[in-house]
Amino acid sequence: MNLSHIRLVLLILTLSLGICLTANAQDSELKFKLKPGASGKLCLDCHDAFKEKLAKSSVHTPLKKGDCIGCHNPHSSDHGKLLAADMTNICATCHKSMVPAGAKSVHKVVAEGTCTKCHDPHSTNSKFNLLKGGNELCFECHKGMGETIGKAKFKHLPVTKGCLTCHDPHASGKADFLLKDSVPALCIGCHKTDRPNFIKSHMGYPVAGSRCTGCHDPHGSDRGGILYNNVHKPVVSKMCNQCHEAANSTTPLKTKKAGYELCRVCHSTQVNSMFAKNRVHWPILDKEGCLSCHNPHASKQKGLIKADLITTCGRCHQDTIRRQEKSMTKHEPIKDGKCTSCHDPHASDNAFLFNQANVIDLCGTCHDWQKHSTHPIGEKTRDPRNKNVSVQCLSCHRAHGTEYKHFIPFPTTSDLCVQCHEQFKR
Amino acid sequence: MITGTIRLNLVLALLMIPVQSFSAQTTTLKLVQPVLTDAKEGMLKSPQGVACNKEGLFIVGDTGNGRLLTYTFKDDAVKGGGEVKLPQMIYPQRLQLNSKGEIFVLDGKLRRILRLSQQGAFIGFLDPQGLPGGTAPVPKSFKIDEQDNIYILDTYSERVIVLDPAGKYLKEVPFPSPHGFFTDLAVNAEGSIYLVDGTNSTVFVAEKKAMAFVPLTKSMKADMDFPGYITTDSRGNIYLVDQNGGGIIALGPDGSFRTRMLSMGWKPGLLYYPGQICLNNKGALFVADRDNNRVQIFEMAK
């Protein structure tokens, strides 16, 4: 076969393909007796404003092709805006691979199918039809994060470049928080751990395999080295060997003692006073010890607490947190995550690790009306339901809430009162 | 000649057989009486522990008053209430009796187990001998089996230690991973050890010769708030005390959910943050009803 024959064959193949494609479009139009351009271009005759949309720099492919019926049904629909499918599913009919199989984290909006929170389905002037460009879009929802990043004295360069430097906006198959890779692998991509500066600033400890975010705030902070704002004193003074074995030892990252015994070396007064109490909070006594609730190096929270108290306490006391969430009336200290307003997180002589022995005194620290309440309460007022307990605030209320109003354990106030005042029972 | 009525009754009786055998599995609790005071009419204060035996003895850990109270329960009558107060015992939280009638007390403040004679005299602290690694346990709870072997839930070293009756180390089984917070352990007549994870409302089991725990149940969060205590009966049924939800949950030997008994409240028969429970061979259930400052005795009707 000579060259002219090959050219001829190729020409025939190309023409055949073209004819097939045109025929297909014509077939649809003929089949449904559609007017020319009725799959989309015709729509623009009425939907005038779309001419403006088409002029934008990023136009959704179906719209660009004039294929409005790719998403809309021109006659009728069970869904708003004559969409061909439910708003939360329609994008996935074409964009199927946004979430990798076995994803470790998925952006809430992606999971919910609310793609339009970030993308305009027709067109925008930002890449990928995004409603806004850069971090500005992310900060619409992650407002607090935006403020924190804006205020941080020491910035992390990738954050200023854009959230998408480290995060995948849809889902991550590798890590939590939509991170493109797990920590430290993600960090090590930029921060070379064998550089002298890196080694020196980590006091020669082999931290390449450690979780960088245990000490550093990847979104920036007010401390040099973007350490979290609250730093443990030995870390500030670079005295790692106060807790860890020497950097040149065979087990440099091992701590010198385990559990609370390590913390006791410096915090002996506090630990000893805890152990003088009748009840010690059990996590202090387990393998993790103080680190059940505290970070050993640095933290965003005061007192080096791992996270806000609702999260930290809620890790074990899920039932109590759940009760508050379901409660019709919210108890402010709990709502605000101030568990320590009533409880001592370390130890106490009192039930529920209460700060005070007397429940009325404890509640009275905020509710001073309680002290001049007309209902008899106090040690001398015995509970008619059980003479072994006195009447106090918790005789009628559950401080973490109930499914009823005012933290009472009964549907109505009268249901509660007749528990004791039986003569008024109807 | 069998009449139509008799025939009908016979058919009904036959049909009732499966219903009756099913109801044998269902347990209900009937309040016998609450125990509110000691022999001198002194009130109980935050009792967290209670132990019982087949001779009708039951001992209360009157935690808030730092003492033990000894009673008997025979023919539906409670007698006694004598006090055992010792300088070595500050905060008695959990109690066990061995086959000789010796009393073992876990002191929550000292985090040590005391061994007392039948009469309540202090014999000594239970200091395990021959522990590998030498790390002293921090006991959250403990149990004694029918052979008087002692099982300690060691929170600090994340293991269950098994000791012989003299306190000599026999073996240990590490906590399973991952886990939440283990609030208690139990041992059944076959020597299987159970662990209850309070945070995840899950039960784990290690058969007698097993060296590892495996999950017996899935999370039962929908059925309970915070299981704080676990025990078994002679048939191998498992009972969990829902401390924060004021109830008792019965599981079958295979961990299957059977029923939830009792509810939260102050009136007799209701529970408010219960602690330890004890079942005796006569079907009596003793409940340390901590925040109601009482112990309640129930009859397990089958």
ipTM of the complex: 0.87
Provide the percentage of residues in chain A whose pLDDT is more than 90.
Answer: 75
Task: Tell me the chain A residues in contact with residue B180 when contact means C-beta distances shorter than 8 Å.
Answer: 316
The pLDDT tens digits for A129-175 are 999 988 999 999 999 999 999 999 999 999 999 999 999 999 999 99
Confidence at residue B22, expressed as pLDDT on a 0 to 100 scale: 38
Average pLDDT, chain A: 90
Confidence at residue A238, expressed as pLDDT on a 0 to 100 scale: 93
Would you call B265 and A385 a contact, using CB atoms and an 8 Å cutoff?
Answer: yes
Confidence at residue A28, expressed as pLDDT on a 0 to 100 scale: 46
Interface residue A286 vs chain B (CB under 8 A):
yes
Would you call A386 and B46 a contact, using CB atoms and an 8 Å cutoff?
Answer: no
**Burial readout A233-246 (b: 16 or more C-beta within 10 A, e: otherwise):** ebbeeeebeebbbe
Residue B17 · residue B24 · CB < 8 Å? no
Q: Chains A and B: how many Cβ contacts under 8 Å?
A: 74
- Read off the pLDDT band of A42 (50, 70, 90): confident
Confidence at residue A4, expressed as pLDDT on a 0 to 100 scale: 65
* Calculated CA dihedral for residues A98, A99, A104, A105, nearest 10 degrees: 60
Which residues, other chains included, contact B228 with Cβ-Cβ below 8 Å and sequence gap of 6+?
B183, B184, B198, B241, B242, B243, B244, B274, B275
Question: How far B161 CA lies from chain A's nearest CA (Å)?
Answer: 15
Across A99-125, average pLDDT: 95
The pLDDT tens digits for A325-371 are 889 999 999 989 999 999 999 999 999 999 999 999 999 899 887 66
Confidence at residue B5, expressed as pLDDT on a 0 to 100 scale: 59
Confidence at residue B4, expressed as pLDDT on a 0 to 100 scale: 61
Above 90 in pLDDT, residue A394? Answer: yes
pTM: 0.82
Identify which of A279, A319, A395 has the shortest CB distance to residue B226: A319
Across A236-259, average pLDDT: 96
Cα B248 to Cα B274: distance, rounded to the nearest angstrom: 9
pLDDT < 50: residue spans in chain B: 1-2, 16-26
Would you call B156 and A285 a contact, using CB atoms and an 8 Å cutoff?
Answer: yes
Q: B271: nearest CA in chain A?
A: A386
Cα A61 to Cα A219: distance, rounded to the nearest angstrom: 35
Would you call B158 and A286 a contact, using CB atoms and an 8 Å cutoff?
Answer: yes
- Read off the pLDDT band of A425 (50, 70, 90): confident
- Quick check: bond before A169 cis, omega within 30? no
Within A125-258, residue ranges assigned H as helices are 135-141, 143-151, 157-161, 185-188, 196-201, 233-236
Strands A378-383 and A386-391: antiparallel
Would you call B108 and A278 a contact, using CB atoms and an 8 Å cutoff?
Answer: yes
Question: How far A334 CA lies from chain B's nearest CA (Å)?
Answer: 17
Choose from B94, B224, B225 for mutation: most chain A CBs within 10 A.
B225
